[in-house]
A = this chain, B = another copy of it.
Amino acid sequence: MAMSKKEAILNAAIDLFAEKGFSATATSAIAKTAGVAEGLIFHYFQSKNGILAHILIDMLGNYIEGAKNEISSNRTGLEAIENFILFHFRFSKKKSKEVVVLTRDFPTDLLQPGSVYREEITARLNLSLNLVKNCLKKGQKDGSIQKVPIEKTAFIIQGMLIGALHLKLKMPNTPEMSLIATEILNFCRRSLAAKS
Contact = CB atoms under 8 A, between A and B. Distances in A.
A54 to B, nearest CB: 18
A183 interface: yes
A16 B37 CA distance: 29
Label chain A's interface by main secondary structure. Answer: helix
A155 B174 contact: yes
B153 A183 contact: yes
Q: How many copies of the polypeptide does the oligomer hold?
A: 4
A106 interface: yes
A111 interface: yes
A7 interface: no
Nearest to A110: B170
27 contacts: A20-B109, A21-B107, A21-B109, A108-B169, A108-B170, A111-B170, A125-B170, A126-B171, A129-B171, A148-B186, A148-B187, A152-B175, A152-B179, A153-B183, A155-B164, A155-B174, A155-B175, A156-B160, A156-B187, A159-B160, A159-B166, A159-B168, A162-B163, A162-B166, A162-B167, A166-B166, A190-B191
Ranked 9 nearest A-B pairs via Cβ: A163-B163, A159-B163, A191-B191, A152-B183, A159-B167, A23-B23, A160-B160, A190-B191, A159-B164
Interface of A: 20-21, 23-24, 104, 106-109, 111, 122, 125-126, 129, 146, 148-149, 151-153, 155-156, 158-164, 166-171, 174-175, 179-180, 183-184, 186-188, 190-192
